[in-house]
Amino acid sequence: MRRQGFDKNQMVPGQPSITPPLIIASASIILTIVWICTLKYGFILPVVLLAIGFVSWSFSRPLAAISTIILLYLHILERSEDITPVELGFGAYFFGYIAFWFAKKIAIQREKVLVSSADMFLIAFLMVCYWSVVLAVANNASPLNWFRECLTVSALLLYFPVRDAMKSERDITLVMKVYLLMAGIVAVYNIIHYRAGSLLATYVWQLIGSRQPFGSFSFVAITIIALSLYIDVRNAKRRLLLYVGLVFFGLGLALTFSRGFWIAAIIGFLVVGVLGDSRARTRMILTGTSLLVVSMVAVFVIAGDLGKFIIQALLNRLTSSGTPLEDASVAERLAELGTVISLVKENPLVGYGFGATFSHYNIIDRFTAESLFVHNGFLLLLFKVGVAGFLLFFAYYGIIMSYAVKLSKQGKNSLFGIAVGRGIFAVFVAMLVIALSSAVFIDKSALLIISLGSAIIVALVQHTSTGDYLSQFPTSDAGKAKHT
């Protein structure tokens, strides 16, 4: 009988297997404990290890990374001159994920990244923005200003991973819910702070002065898309949730006291009605009337006795929109536009580069200052990147809008796809209206909306053209229940 040899790799029963990963894990735990016990700021190490672990986990899960980026926008939406540590962390995560996604797609998976004409124009526009550093330096602009503005406009790069991650209706609704959560936190913050400010107000004009413009773009986009979904949804529970959302975010929009955003939202609502059928338009009129009544009641519930004064302040702000030429701030903006128009005429083709500033005499403050921004999104692009960059951006923007209209008109597809296409088209129209009095195309909040909206529309259209999941969506809530 042959004697069996001893296998040194054979595990003895009851004896743990000692492997390199186990050794590394054990050493890491010991080092962490020693670090925490011996150093004053030892707690930083476990935080760093947790951060590394989260980055590793989320980068391999696109929806988790995208959701994290959207939520982190809470810390960078407010205007600030300095870069905070949180913003640095956000930037590291955001650009780290973008670089990881492109490297994975191009170098590892060998897949095409540019899959539609909109992609081509977007990348070309971003290249013009990045190369505008040559113009900025030639015009004695600060390289730091160029860097900051290019970082902001790079938010459009989020379009690519979001578009790629949209594999089903569930994915799209998840991203929309995460964005809704982020905007909801902003709305609660605004309402609480406005209520605190209104308690100290003595006159109606002081109530207007307590306005909270933070989150205006988000409130416009959410109310328009919520209305587009509401007029087609059949399920009573979903209709109630959408109605509550319209009241809540509508109130948040009202308390911004931003007339340009109010007008943009109203125009967006009208666009939704035009793209809808007669039944949808009738429901819109009834919904709008009830929303006004419910919103007034909500103001009284939140503000108590101050409710009637807040409503009066809102009405005063709205009626003053009819006399803009008598407003000193409007006169100042018109003077600013005149200055920038004269500069654009001098160098129309390529502009002055991102980071470029212009000298302008402020007729309200009565002093001359260098300014980075102009209160008009169209002129801003012409000033920064000239006609070339302007045309590239709006070619991309126009293609997305055409895709959205196409999606909204394809009645054979799901009501979800139709409503989302109609809503996002209306949001993009509203953005063009806001651009008349705001630097939309360099605003962090607006760029996030454009990125997410574009990605959702392109994903839906692509899946429709290839016969994928959109054509399988039910055409009503009853059909969806049957499908499920």
Opening angle at CA 249, ends 243 and 250, nearest 5: 80
pLDDT, tens digit, 9 for 90 and up, residues 312-325: 777 777 766 555 55
Tell the residue number behind the tokens 């990348």, with chain if given.
123
Q: The pTM is what?
A: 0.82
Longest dimension (CA), the chain: 110
CA angle (159 as vertex; 155, 163 as ends), nearest 5:
160
Confidence band (pLDDT; 50, 70, 90) for 475?
A: very low
Q: Where are the alpha helices (DSSP H) in 435-476?
A: 444-465
Alpha-carbon gap, residue 286 to 143, rounded angstroms? 53
Percent of the chain scored above 90 by pLDDT? 30
Report the percent of the chain where pLDDT is more than 70.
75
Q: How far is residue 87 from each of residues 63, 83, 148, 152, 155, measured CA to CA in Å?
A: 21, 6, 12, 12, 13
Burial class (CB in 10 A: 0-12, 13-18, 19+), 123: middle
For residue 213, CA distances in Å to 217, 371, 427 come to: 9, 21, 18
Q: What is the pLDDT of residues 369-390, one digit of tens each?
A: 777 778 889 999 999 999 999 9
What is the structure's pLDDT at 482? 36
Using 50, 70 and 90 to split pLDDT, how confident is the model at 409?
Answer: confident
The H or E element containing residue 360 is strand 358-362
Q: Is the sign of the CA dihedral 278, 281, 287, 293 positive or negative?
A: negative
Average pLDDT, the chain: 80
What pLDDT was estimated at residue 365?
62
pLDDT tens digits along 174-210:
999 999 999 999 888 888 877 777 766 665 656 666 6
C-alpha distances out from residue 147 to 129, 131, 141, 142, Å = 10, 11, 11, 9
> Has residue 124 got a pLDDT over 60?
yes
Burial class, 309, CB count within 10 angstroms (exposed 0-12 / middle 13-18 / buried 19+): middle
* 431, 440 contact by CB (below 8 A): yes
369 in helix, strand or coil?
strand
Contact 418, 474 (CB under 8 A): no
Residue with tokens 């009738």: 282
Which of 131-145, 305-319, 362-376 holds the top average pLDDT? 131-145
Say whether 201 sits in a helix, a strand or coil.
Answer: coil
383: its two tokens: 């000033």
DSSP 371: E
Q: What is the pLDDT of residues 222-277, one digit of tens each?
A: 999 999 999 888 788 888 999 999 989 988 888 888 888 989 999 999 999 888 87
How many other C-beta atoms can be found within 10 angstroms of the C-beta atom of residue 362?
A: 13
What is the domain partition of the chain in residue ranges? 23-56, 114-483
Identify the residue whose tokens are 């919103």. 295
